[in-house]
Structure 1
Amino acid sequence: MQTGKLTSEGDRRVVLVTGGARGIGLEIVRRFLADGYRVAFVATKAKHVDQALESLGRAEDRLYGQVTDITQQNEVSALVGRIRNRWGEITTLINNAGISPKRANQEVSWFVQMSPEEWVRVIDVNLTGPFGLIRLLAPSMVANGYGRIINVGSLAGRTVPLIAGPHYAASKAGLVGLTRAAARDLAPHGITVNCIAPGRVLSDLTGPADDAVNRSALWRIPVGRFGRAEEVAHVAAFLASPMAGFITGATIDITGGEFGA
């Protein structure tokens, strides 16, 4: 039952982007603004929210940024309530927020070095946070007969993680499974759920191109360059569009050929 009844009213397209103040998330926000959406985004630091709003030109009444910890259900519920009061129901959810803790030398912690607290924090942000948002927003999407949910995973969740830590890899692999399960449950209601799995994309999370870790990773990428955040945003925009209505439960790899090479 895919009615798509909200897609014909462009001014009612409302997207929520988590981790939307920097890197891939910021480019997703920028792209959806360009496509005419009303865009709400969250980040964990006020300075990052302010910087993002400034860089985006504040976009008058179509942009809203807020500090929110997606692991805190009361904060998330309050956020969704504010968005609904401002614009109505959220039609598109993009679970982009993610963390990958590093040690002082920018290396990740492996099993014997990792504290249980660090493990839990990464799983909470990268996997439990998206679950909570999907669970919160799915009922209204079901009621409207339309919705788009896009989870931002990682190459680290698709193959042997050569750079990411075990907590990050496990959380992103779990996100692929969550995507499939949610897609199965929500497909009869006109809601698609897909996952994007970027490879080495230059962002605040991965660091500059001349970083030692990035230099060592470049040789593994068949196209011979790093990805760009806007390339991930283009895929998110397509998956959110009516053209992608027959795509659900999929994971789209954006790795320059590294996955499967």
Structure 2
Amino acid sequence: MLKPGKLKDQSDRRVALVTGGTRGIGLEIVRRFLADGYQVAFVGTKAEHVERALDILGCPEGQFYAETIDVTRQNEVGEFVDRIRARWGEITILVNNAGISPKRVDQDAPWLSQTSFGEWARVIDVNLNGPFILIRLLAPAMIANGYGRIINVGSVAGRAMPLIAGPHYAASKAGLVGLTRAAARDLAPHGITVNCVAPGRVLSDLTGPPDAQVNRSALSRIPVGRFGTAEEVAYVAAFLASPMAGFITGATIDITGGEFAA
């Protein structure tokens, strides 16, 4: 196990943790990192999703490690982090991708009237408190080593008027942009960058088929005339995770095909 202290060389900067890494964008980020030679730990909330992801990846067992973890449970997350450190040493790259987005039951009724306090609290807990917990857990070792990369996965819903997502999802993703900036300010003097990627409509098993009404409507708002891909988001995350991105921090990179530009 790498003891606290300055990292010795580039090879010590190759341990990544990806939350929500079993499907969609998270799985593609895991796949990209593995292809780039990282040792990658990732988590999901359902055992069957973790097992499916392991089957899909099919790479050498020593290169990745996965568990079923709830990112809102601080003790559970802390114990998982300890197990990663025991295997590979300090985690130098964190991708906060885990998130939930409840669907509207009645399409004709306002979102606010359908959002219970319990549902609101759960979305904020997973989408915003989870990233805060992990940043707090990993930042001390990153500071001690003088190096780190933190990438938060936001959404266009947190950047512009939310046309599909609910108020809890939009608020959590907007909050994630604020957390990114605050953490970037605090951690920049220690060689740690903190950035956010904000995808637009990226098709996956979570968003449904392209011909679904909600997707057809979304497509009409995208200037490039197509949906995004999880692979495109993963490539941006991979660059932000690299040593070459050391002068980028506190930024939100919009991956929306022109739907939103700041």
TM-score bin (small chain): over 0.9
The residue type paired with residue 139 of structure 1 is P
Q: Residue 233 of structure 2 contacts residue 255 of structure 2 at CA under 8 Å; is this kept in 1?
A: yes
Q: Are 1:96 and 2:100 matched, yes or no?
A: no
Distance (Å, rounded) in 1 between the aligned partners of 2:68 and 2:153: 20
Distance in 2, matches of 1:108 and 1:48, equals: 32
- Residue 109 and residue 42 in structure 1: after superposition, are their counterparts in 2 closer, same or farther (change >3 A)? farther
Residue number in structure 2 paired with 1:25: 26
Structure 2 partner of 1:143: 144
TM-score of the two chains, using structure 2 as the length reference: 0.94
- 2:50 alignment counterpart: 49
Amino acid at match of 1:203: S
1:148-199 C-alpha deviation (Å, 9 max, x unpaired): 0000000000010000000000000000000000000000000000000000
Alignment identity in percent? 76
What letter is aligned with 2:22?
Answer: A
For residues 60 and 119 of structure 2, the distance between their equivalents in structure 1, rounded to whole angstroms, comes to 37
The aligned residue for residue 233 of structure 2 is: 232
8 Å CA contact 2:111, 2:166 repeated in 1: yes
Query: 2 CA distance for matches of 1:7 and 1:176?
Result: 31
List per-residue Cα deviations over 1:105-141 (Å, max 9, x = no partner): 6899711121000000000000000000000000000
Specify the alignment match of 2:11 in structure 1: 9
**CA separation in 2, counterparts of 1:122 and 1:184?**
26
Structure 1: runs of 5+ lacking an equivalent: none
Identify the residue that residue 67 of structure 1 maps to in structure 2.
Answer: 68
Q: How many residues align?
A: 258
> Post-superposition, which runs of at least 4 consecutive aligned residues in structure 1 deviate over 6 A?
105-109
Counterpart secondary structure, 1:9 = helix
Distance in 1 between the 2:76 and 2:176 partners? 22
Question: For 1:80 and 1:176, how far apart are their aligned partners in 2?
Answer: 24
Residue 127 of structure 1 corresponds to which residue in structure 2?
128
> Unaligned regions of 5+ residues in structure 2, if any?
none
- In structure 1, give the amino acid aligned to 2:163: L
**Pair 117,80 (structure 1): closer, same or farther in 2 beyond 3 Å:** same
What RMSD over aligned residues (CA atoms) do the two structures have, in Å? 1.8
Distance 1:36 1:4, change over 3 A: farther
Q: Which residue of 1 aligns with 2:199?
A: 198
Describe the superposition over 1:73-103 as per-residue Cα deviations: whole angstroms up to 9, x where unpaired. Answer: 1110111011011111100000000100114
One-letter code aligned to 2:238: A
Q: 1:177 — aligned with what? A: 178
Shift of 1:59: 2.4
Task: Answer whether contact 1:145 1:191 (CA < 8 A) is retained.
Answer: yes
Whole-angstrom CA distance in 2 between matches of 1:6 and 1:43:
31
Aligned counterparts of 2:9 and 2:223: Cα–Cα separation in 1: 38
CA contact (8 A) 1:184 1:249 kept: yes
Cα shift readout 1:40-77 (whole Å, capped 9, x = no counterpart): 00000000000000000042200111000001111101
